[in-house]
Amino acid sequence: MDDSILLAHGSGGKLSHELVEKKFLPFLANPALNKLDDSAVFEASGRLAFTTDGYVVNPIFFPGGDIGKLAVCGTVNDLAMNGAKPLYLSLSAIIEEGFLLSELEQIMQSIKKAAEEAEVSIIAGDTKVVNRGQADKLFITTSGVGIISPGVDISGANARAGDKVLLSGTIGDHGIAIMSQREGLRFSMTLESDCAPLNKLVSQMLEVSSSIHCLRDPTRGGLATTLNELARQSKVGIVVEETKIPVKEEVKAVCELLGLDPIYVANEGKLVAIVDPADADKILARMRKNRYGRDAAIIGEVTKEHPGKVVMKTKLGPSRIVDMLSGELLPRIC
């Protein structure tokens, strides 16, 4: 086989078949996919959750992951945030002409690993090749289906006054790890993206409590944006304490240097849970036993005051409003 993707790999002809057989199937193989029918057929009953997401991260390889791992974890997490057990994913790749096959293989390898860890099967897929310059190396879209157990009712609209707000670990790791690799901002550090599938963590939380009201993963826009979304959706106020929010030293340092606030920096392996206060400690203890919830903390609570607004008690004591992220995160000049 050639060492980079040619337009002919997307022609639908021989090369296309060869690409699918050699570079996709060996990593994704499962009975539903192996049939190579026009659509995958599977059995399911009960309440289903369905989601889709596009991944265009730049750079495609970053410390702690790559676009493939991200594409699996992101969709798995979106399903898990509604309390669903993720079952099946579809994966569609748009590849820029000239993309290295060795890199594609590396990404497929990490897709395989992430899917295995999350215990999901990729049962449908598609590949397109576009002219050089019409895409940036590789874009991936994944969709996912999951099943929700009876009795589980998790939604961003379910927060109630008095509920506790839990965070599964340190914030800003993904955003800062990506930023450290961007052109013009390269700095060497050991920080890795937190990119991880959170479905097992969620199922363990659901095992110990039936009073989890909201779950959401604070991806783009960071913790601040997620808390605002939940406050608005549930028409409640949220109060958090800055000192309770776990932040790694490296992330703190880079944020100080660039004039960023970690509460706006992206995460890919963290979740916010809003839960009944009676169950908060029990859920926290269970979270901490999972590697992805090791640094979990109760960071605040839900109030009936200031509905739709998030207020943070700052490190120095006074309170201020925390708004959603607007625009892009940019370092200061002066």
Which of 160, 194, 156, 165 shows the shortest CA–CA distance to 177? 194
Residue from the set 29, 259, 285, 289 that interacts with other proteins by CB under 8 A: 259
User: Residue count at the site for other proteins (CB under 8 A)?
Assistant: 30
Retrieve residue 79's tokens. Answer: 């399903």
Q: Rule CB under 8 A: say whether 132 interacts with other proteins.
A: no
Q: Which of 53, 117, 261, 276 binds other proteins (CB under 8 A)?
A: 261
Which residue type, as a one-letter code, is found at position 108?
Answer: M
> Is there binding between residue 317 and other proteins (CB under 8 A)?
yes
**Smaller CB separation from other proteins, 46 or 318:** 318
**20 contributes a contact to other proteins by CB under 8 A:** no
Which residues in the 171-210 window bind other proteins by CB under 8 A? 183-185
Work out whether 161 is an interface residue with other proteins (CB under 8 A).
no
**Extended strands (E) in the chain:** 47-55, 61-62, 65-66, 84-96, 121-130, 138-148, 164-167, 212-216, 237-241, 272-275, 297-303, 310-313, 319-322
* Entry field: residues in the chain: 334
Contact call for residue 241 and other proteins (CB under 8 A): no
Alpha-carbon gap, residue 145 to 81, rounded angstroms: 13
Amino acid at 198: L
**Cβ at position 303, least distance to other proteins in Å:** 12
Interface mask toward other proteins for 291-310; x: CB under 8 A: ---------------x--x-
Q: Which stretch binds other proteins (CB under 8 A): 43-51, 195-203, 206-214, 245-253?
A: 245-253
Nearer to other proteins (CB atom), residue 150 or residue 327:
327
The reply to whether 326 sits near other proteins by the rule CB under 8 A is: yes
Shortest gap between Cβ of 136 and other proteins (angstroms)? 15
Question: What's the rounded Cα separation, in Å, for the pair 27 and 42?
Answer: 20
Q: Which of 1, 37, 243, 289 binds other proteins (CB under 8 A)?
A: 243
DSSP 150: T
Residue 29 or 161 having the CB closest to other proteins: 161
Least distance in angstroms from the C-beta of 216 to other proteins: 21
Residues 199 and 89 sit within 8 Å (Cβ to Cβ): no
Residue 330 as a binder of other proteins (CB under 8 A): the answer is: yes
Q: What angle do CA 320, 176, 188 make, to 5 degrees?
A: 135
Closest by alpha carbon to 127, among 175, 94, 80?
94
144, burial (CB in 10 Å: exposed 0-12, middle 13-18, buried 19+): buried
Q: Which residues would be at the binding site for other proteins (CB under 8 A)?
A: 183-185, 243, 249, 252-253, 256, 259, 261, 306, 309, 311, 314-321, 323, 326-328, 330-334
